[in-house]
Amino acid sequence: MVTEVWRPSGRRRSAPCAPRRRSALARQQRRFAFIVMVPVLGGTFVFGLYPVGYVVWMSLHRYSLFSGSSHPFVGLQNYRMAVTSDYGSFWRAALQTLYYPLIRLPIEVVVAMAFAVALRRIRRGRQLYLAMIFLPAATSLTAMSIVFGVVFNSSTGIVNRLLDVLGVPSQLFLGSATQALPTVESVDIWHGLGFATVILFAGLLSIDQRYYEAAAVDGANAWQQFRTITLPLLRPVLSVVLILDSVYLLQLFTPILVMTEGGPFNSTLNLPYLIYESLTGGLLSYAAACSVMLFLLILVFVAVWNRLGRADT
């Protein structure tokens, strides 16, 4: 393998040239690295790492937007405000942040897996099916949230008019405190399924066909093959899908802003939307405290999926 020629740890073959020339080369390389790294590392620090410290700092102070004003240290007061008072319905939002992945992930594992398995059996026109399944992922989620909002509109939406034709009573969908969250989630499932399918499909292709041939010789049926070969071998890929999607869903924002703005009666509110709402409302320190707690929640999810992906392998 070519990768063995050179290892990233910095040990490399010496270039066949005179020592003085080599040190000139090394100096030239260091200068080049410096010129490139100043903007790259600068950007990483200023917009990637420094804000993490800043958000923790903000959450422990009473931050004010007015320049020149002081930002007194208040300890855990912002966190206490979130956890104890009714303001901003923190617990409601935190709980509902979890609903989004809990609704979607099981659907995704089953449906995307079924798509992926079916795709592998298709020989002719596979690229076309793949493109059709993947198309939704390439659409703009903002635009499709608007479309789904119109489609599910309780008075003019086409879904209700179709239900009417079938004799089913009209549903409130986005106007109902119980139906709004699944309706908001529907656009996202539609949008995200293709991505999961493609990743799982790529994972399926990497499984050695000989396992299946051997199983078939032993008389295993399709379901047994799936359970004993596909599922265990696909486990690492599946855990990547679950991690990526959980991290994404715990931050779900676009369809909520477009379709419900957190309502009705906070029934679609999650932490990202709560952060947005309190931020635009000027409550920066409160929003910062919520951000830190959201971060911890995401870390817990990643740790759990990671552990599950590794278990008994």
- Number of neighbours of residue 75 by Cβ within 10 angstroms: 9
Does residue 262 bind another protein (CB under 8 A)? Answer: no
Distance from C-alpha of 212 to C-alpha of 117, rounded to nearest angstrom: 13
Task: Extract the tokens encoding 208.
Answer: 């050695």
Give start and end residues of each alpha helix (H) in the chain.
19-44, 50-59, 77-84, 90-121, 126-138, 141-151, 158-165, 180-205, 209-217, 222-225, 231-249, 254-259, 271-280, 284-310
Instruction: Considering only the stretches 77-85, 87-95, 224-232, 268-276, report the one whose residues sit in contact with another protein under the rule CB under 8 A.
Output: 268-276
233 forms part of the interface with another protein (CB under 8 A):
no
Choosing from 206, 222, 224, 303, the residue that interacts with another protein (CB under 8 A) is: 206
Asked whether position 65 contacts another protein by CB under 8 A, the answer is yes
Closest CB to another protein among 21 and 80?
21
d(CA 230, CA 208): 10
Q: Which stretch binds another protein (CB under 8 A): 40-48, 105-113, 214-222, 304-312?
A: 40-48
Question: Please, what is the minimum distance in Å from the beta carbon of residue 219 to another protein?
Answer: 32
Q: Is 141 in the site for another protein (CB under 8 A)?
A: yes
Is residue 253 part of the contact set for another protein (CB under 8 A)? yes
Taking CB under 8 A as the criterion, the residue among 23, 43, 216, 231 binding another protein is: 43
How many alpha carbons lie under 13 Å from residue 279 in its C-beta half-sphere?
Answer: 14
Of the ranges 88-96, 106-114, 132-140, 213-221, which one interacts with another protein (CB under 8 A)? 132-140
Name every residue whose Cβ is closer than 8 Å to that of residue 36 and which is 6 or more positions away in sequence.
Answer: none
Strand, helix or coil for residue 283: coil
Eight-state DSSP code of residue 85: S
Q: Which residue has the tokens 């599946």?
A: 238
| Angle value at C-alpha 217, between 214 and 219, nearest 5 degrees | 115
Residues in Cβ contact with 173 at an 8 Å cutoff, skipping those fewer than 6 apart: 152, 153, 154, 157, 159, 160, 179, 180, 183
Q: Which of 82, 241, 249, 269 binds another protein (CB under 8 A)?
A: 241
By the rule CB under 8 A, 237 interacts with another protein: yes
Task: Tell me: does residue 202 bind another protein (CB under 8 A).
Answer: yes
Is 91 an interacting residue with respect to another protein (CB under 8 A)? Answer: no
- Which range of residues in 27-35, 83-91, 102-110, 218-226 is near another protein by CB under 8 A? 27-35
Mention every residue, 6+ apart, whose C-beta is less than 8 A from residue 256: 184, 262, 268, 269, 270, 272, 273
Residues that bind another protein (rule: CB under 8 A) add up to a total of 102
**CB-nearer residue toward another protein: 88 or 203:** 203
Q: How far is the CB of 269 from another protein (least distance, A)?
A: 14
Neighbours of 110 (CB within 10 A): 10
Closer residue to another protein in complex, CB, 56/220 = 56
Q: Which of 240, 263, 308, 309 binds another protein (CB under 8 A)?
A: 240
Q: Is 305 in the site for another protein (CB under 8 A)?
A: no
Stretch of residues binding another protein (CB under 8 A), selected from 84-92, 107-115, 138-146, 223-231: 138-146
